[in-house]
Amino acid sequence: MITSQFQYHKASSIEDAIQKLQNEEDAKLLAGGHSLLPMMKLRFAEPPYLIDINDIPELQGIDLQGDTIRIGAMTTENELIASEILQQHCPLLVEAAKLVADPQVRNRGTIGGDIVHGDPGNDHPAVMLALDANFIIQGPDGKREQPANGFFLGTYWNEIAEDEILVAIEVKAQKDNQGFGYHKLKRKTGDYAVAGSPVMLTLDGDKCSDIRIGLTNVAPMAIRATEAENLLKGQEIDSALIEKAAEQVIAACEPAEDLRGSSEYKSHMAAEMVRRSIQDALQRARS
């Protein structure tokens, strides 16, 4: 439970952090540390150099400009929960953050760290897929935009280079004809999800004009239940259709068996979380 030796550097700016990433071999960025430090204590990870990016001003803050919300990557879970902008314009993110781990973790853990760490059990990646988020990423050559859709490539494997930093997340403010659902099944406080599903649904009259279904911890990375989405899009959603979509969700899952349950159980729980999230999303979009 004691890490190997490592050096620690507190970065003063994004440029400083990128420079250290380039110059120090096998350096890792330290955000909230609630995934990285336990791995280091177990000596599963032994990075020789940590770059602490928690106090870089450009990585902080939540702003609303037009219909776009910009969230600094080092915003903590509790800051997400407390944000009036998010409560009003992106309640899915608030509800998801409330169910992340436990109060201690939410005090330190950051949205950016959660997204980039690459553990399929992390909650924000699937939420980002459901929200159709856009990531602002900075590297030695400047900033670029990267959609969440296509960012998550595998376990600990994302569409981001070794010397790049996630600076901010951009999401669209929720519209009146939209509704969200978020259900997560976990064994206990602080545990990763057995399965979780954020859903964002758009209604056009009685028909579902768009739906995005994210799935947490049922594949090597966060995924979307695309087949299920296609089945529901353009349709008037009823319970029979939700059942068909649930079957598609089960087919889309490929979870690893562990003490949380078998692959079969996790797939079925993903489907159950999707059922409940769709019901909630429908109800919210209608009201």
Partner 1 sequence: MDNANDANNAPEQDDPIKGVGCARKRKEDARFIQGKGNYVDDIKMPGMLFADMVRSPYAHARIKSINKEKALALPGVHAVLTADDLKPLNLHWMPTLAGDVQAVLADEKVHFQYQEVAVVVADNRYIAADAIELVEVEYEELPVLVDAHKAMDDDAPILREDLVGKMDGAHSKRVHDNHIFNWQAGDKDATDRVFEQAEVTVKQDMYYPRVHPSPLETCGCVASFDKVNEHLTVYITSQAPHVVRTVVSMLSGIPESKVRIVSPDIGGGFGNKVGVYPGYVVSIVASIVLGVPVKWVENRMEHLSTTAFARDYHMTGEIAADSDGRIKALRVNVLADHGAFDACADPSKFPAGLMHICTGSYDVPVAHLNVDGVYTNKAPGGVAYRCSFRVTEAVYVIERTMDVLAQKLGIDKAEIRRRNFIKAEQFPYQTALGWEIDSGDYHTALEKVLEACDYEGLRREQQEKREKGELMGIGLVTFTEIVGAGPTRNCDILGVGMFDSAEIRVHPTGSVIARMGTITQGQGHQTTYAQIIASELGIPSDEISIEEGDTDTAPYGLGTYGSRSTPVGGAATAVAARKIRAKAQKIAAHLLEVSEQDLEWDVDRFKVKGVPGQEKTMKEIAWAAYNDRPEGMEPGLEAVDYYDPPNFTYPFGTYLCVVDIDKYTGVTKVRRFYALDDCGTRINPMIIEGQIHGGLNEGFAVAMGQELPFDEQGNILGNTLMDYFIPTFVETPKWETDYTVTPSPHHPIGAKGVAESPHVGSIPTFTSAIVDAFSHLGTTHLDMPHNAFRLWQHIRELGLDKRTG
Cα–Cα distance, 199 to 197 (Å, whole number): 6
The smaller minimum CB distance to partner 1, of residues 146 and 235, is found at: 235
The smaller minimum CB distance to partner 1, of residues 5 and 65, is found at: 5
Residue 48 in contact with partner 1, rule: CB under 8 A: no
One of 25, 205, 240, 287 touching partner 1 (CB under 8 A) = 240
One of 143, 175, 187, 286 touching partner 1 (CB under 8 A) = 187
8 Å CB contact between 277 and 212: no
Among candidates 153, 128, 116, 118, which has minimal Cα distance to 29?
A: 116
Residue 188 in contact with partner 1, rule: CB under 8 A: yes
Residue 272 in contact with partner 1, rule: CB under 8 A: yes
Residue 43 in contact with partner 1, rule: CB under 8 A: yes
Binding mask 110-149 for partner 1 (x = CB under 8 A): ----------------------------------------
Cα–Cα distance, 120 to 259 (Å, whole number): 16
Kindly state the greatest CA–CA separation across the chain: 60
One of 6, 24, 37, 265 touching partner 1 (CB under 8 A) = 265
Helix axes 239-252, 263-286, angle to 10 degrees: 140
The smaller minimum CB distance to partner 1, of residues 90 and 269, is found at: 269
Q: What phi, psi does 219 have (nearest 5°)?
A: -160, 175
Q: Of the listed pieces 6-14, 16-24, 49-57, 182-190, which binds partner 1 according to CB under 8 A?
A: 182-190
8 Å CB contact between 7 and 46: no
Among candidates 208, 198, 185, 172, which has minimal Cα distance to 280?
A: 198
Instruction: List residues near partner 1 by CB under 8 A.
Output: 1-2, 4-5, 43, 102, 185, 187-191, 194, 239-240, 243, 259-262, 265, 268-269, 272
